[in-house]
Amino acid sequence: MANAEPARIPPSPTARTASARLAGGAAGLFVVATHKVRERTGTPPLRWVPYGTEHAWRPGSRRTLCGEWTAGWTVFWELAFSPQHARACRACVEASLPAESRRRLAPQAAPAPERRSA
Ligand SMILES: [Zn+2]
């Protein structure tokens, strides 16, 4: 009875998402790597492509999403970091995903709680 509270509407955070979409995909992340190589397929001029693990990097940061210092690393401004990429750093992938998606990526970490015997 005494618990009746007026409905409170929190301010909506819509303004925050707009700038993140400008570049680097939905998360605003680019590929960074310790080394680069010339692309081996296609016609010249061949692009530089990341060699080895592809980490995720947000412009303005000095570290990758997984916490590596990026000093001396190559930023691939044309490449948006993609979690689907085979060589994407696992830690960066996890750090770049919202919590809901992380759970989806690691189905073996915890058994699904939805199991119910009818
Ligand atoms: Zn990483």
**Prior bond of 113 cis (ω within 30°):** no
* Separation of CA 25 and ligand 1 centre (Å): 17
* Separation of CA 3 and ligand 1 centre (Å): 48
pLDDT value at position 63? 97
* Separation of CA 31 and ligand 1 centre (Å): 10
Beta-bridge mates of residue 38: 48
* Separation of CA 96 and ligand 1 centre (Å): 10
pLDDT value at position 74? 96
pTM: 0.62
* Separation of CA 88 and ligand 1 centre (Å): 8
| pLDDT tens digits, one per residue of 55-108 | 999 999 999 999 999 999 999 999 999 999 999 999 999 999 877 766 666 555
Compute the distance between CA of residue 78 and CA of residue 49 in angstroms, rounded to an integer: 10
Q: Are 92 and 102 in contact (CB under 8 A)?
A: no
What HEC string does 1-46 produce?
Answer: CCCCCCCCCCCCCCHHHHHHHCCCCCCCCEEEECEEEECCCCCCCC
* Separation of CA 66 and ligand 1 centre (Å): 4
Whole-angstrom Cα Rg for the chain: 20
